[in-house]
Amino acid sequence: MSTLSSKAFESVTRLFHSVSGIRLGENKQALVAGRLQRLAAEAGEPDLDAYVDRLVRGNAPAEEMTRVIDRLTTNETYFFREPQHYNDLAARLESHPKGQEFLVWSAASSSGEEAYSAAMVLSDVLGASAWRVIGTDLSTAMVETAQRGLYTLERARMVPPDYLKRFCLKGQGPHDGSLLITRELRERVRFQTANLMQQLPSELPKFDVIFLRNVLIYFDNDAKAQIVRRVMQLLKPQGVLYTGHAESLAPLGLPLRSLATAIHGLG
C-alpha cells in the first residue's frame, strides 16, 4: 500500500475544493489517503501520488473526478437528526392552507434520511394532500443510495415507533437488520445531484421549508454566504430555513431573521 505525500495531499484537496467548495484540513490526510487508496487500485494505479498527479493534470477520465467527490464527501447521518426542526415543521403544517401544495427541500440530503424524515412528518400531518420533498446532494453515489431507500436499522434509532410501523418495512432474510422506506413515501420524494457552490438546477421550485443542515461547517465564511444567498432565492416569502445547531449565520450579514435556534426566515 503506497502512502500519500503532503504535496499530493495539498494538490488533491486543492482540486477537491475548486470543484466542491469544501476545504479539507491537514488533519484529514489519513482519511483522504484511505479513501483514495481503493480508487487508485481500481484505476490500475498502485502509487497514490501518481494517481493524484493524473487527476490534477486532467489525464484521468472525466468520471474519475466524480468518483473522487463521492468518496471524499462526508455522508454519515441518521433519521430525525436534530428533532426540534421536525417538531417545528409539524407545527407549521397544521396552519398550512388546505389544498395548497407544501414543498420541502433537503439541500444537502446525503443518503436521504433527512428528506424521508420530513416526508414522514408531511404524510402524518397532511396525509394524501399535495406535498413533495426534493433532496439534492453533490455526490451521485449518495443520490443513488437515497433513491433506493434502504437503510440499516441503526440509522432509524430516532424514528418514532408509530412512524416505523407506517412508513418502514423491516428487512428479512438477506436484508435482516435493514429497513426499506415504503413505496408510497418514496414516490413523494425525489432526489437529484446539485452542487451548492454552483448555479442550482433551473427546475427547482420555490420552497416552504429548506433544510440546509450540517454542511456549512465545511466552508469558509465567503463560501457560506454564497451558498445561503443562492439557497435563499428558492425560499418562499413566508418560508423557513433550517440550519444545523452548530452552524451560525450571524457573521455572514445576510437578510435573514432568527425565528428560533437554527430556524430562520427572510427579512
Provide the annotated active-site residues. 35, 137
Sort residue 189 into left (φ over 0), alpha (ψ -120 to 50) or beta: beta
User: Looking up cell 468518483, which residue turns up?
Assistant: 67
Residues 229 and 232: their CA atoms lie apart, in Å, by: 5
Q: Which residues of 14-23 are buried (b: 16+ CB within 10 A; e: fewer)?
A: ebbbebbbbe
Largest CA distance in the chain: 61
CA distance 54 to 125: 52
CB 89 within 8 A of CB 42: no
Q: Report the C-alpha gap between 245 and 119 in whole angstroms.
A: 21
Query: Grid coordinates standing for 12?
Result: 488533491
Q: Categorise residue 57: left if φ over 0, alpha if ψ from -120 to 50, beta otherwise.
A: alpha
